[in-house]
Every structure is written in C-alpha cells, then in structure tokens.
Amino acid sequence: MANARTRYDTISEFMQREHDATGALLYAKPSVQINGTPFLFYTNTGMAFRLSAKARDYALALPGSTVWSPLGAAQASSPWVLVPASQFLRWDRLAIDALRHAEAGDTRRPQALPSQGPPPLPPAAHRWRDSIKNLMEKASALRLVR
C-alpha cells in the first residue's frame, strides 16, 4: 500500500530527526533503530513494533495484528507485533511506545542480585532436622541390658 509505505517513511524520518534514531536495512527489511536496537520494521503486509506490557496488548488487540519475529519464527512471548497496513493510522502511537521501550532497554531479562549469604532452609529441611534430633535423643537413651 502506498499510503502505508508513506506513513512508515514519515515515522522513520521523524524518529531520525527528533530522536537520533537511524534507519537501516536489517534482514532485507527497512527498519529504524536507536543505540543499535531495532524497534520498527516495515514489511509488505504492515509495520512491526517492538513493544512491552500494555502497549503490546493494545497492539495485539487491533484487528489483523499478530506476533512477529524479524527472523521469521515468532513465538507467543515475542515482543514484536506486526500491525497490518489497514491500521496504519495507529502506527504513530505504537512507534512512540516502541521508541520508549527501546530507550528503556530490555526489562524482561532477569537482573541478578548480589548474594546475601546462604538461602534459608525450606520447611521440609527443618522437619527432617527435628526428626533426626529426636531419633538421636532416643538412641542415646537406649541401654544394652544383659
């Protein structure tokens, strides 16, 4: 669709001009990235956005939207959403949300915390310890009689 491609070009130029994003050709598709992280792709069927949380849910709720992957094998947990060209009037908002997500970094990765000593024992370990203690007390009370 000519209107959809024009809309993508307008969004791409705005991101490059106002947010220091760069346009690139990744995986043979036009894309926009910031700090080396792509957050927009244009395909023949629509535009793909890298989103998180509510923005991702909103994009998936649009008619015709699907989970997408730049490499082709999309999983249900993929942050990429392909919004069809029929929804190109909603691309502006989604592009801003994708930019915010890319600037914030990938928050889905777990962050390791410094260790604060050994972890606490599970409740079953306490029961096992108490059972062994009781057995040892009974064993010490036993006397061999002749």
Residue 80 maps to which CATH number? Answer: 3.90.1150.30
Is there a domain that residue 142 lies in? no
In this predicted structure, the answer to whether residue 108 has a pLDDT above a threshold of 60 is no
- Mean pLDDT to the nearest integer, 75-91: 88
118 membership: H or E segment, kind and range: none
Residue 55 vs residues 31, 39, 67, 83, 94: alpha-carbon distances, Å: 19, 13, 13, 12, 7
Cβ(82)–Cβ(60) below 8 Å = no
Q: What is the pLDDT of residue 107?
A: 47
Is there a domain that residue 56 lies in? yes
Give the residue numbers spanning the domain of 100: 2-104
In this predicted structure, the answer to whether residue 109 has a pLDDT above a threshold of 60 is no
How confident is the model over 1-57, as pLDDT tens digits?
A: 568 888 999 999 999 998 889 898 888 889 999 888 899 999 988 999 999 889 899
Q: What is the pLDDT of residue 113?
A: 65
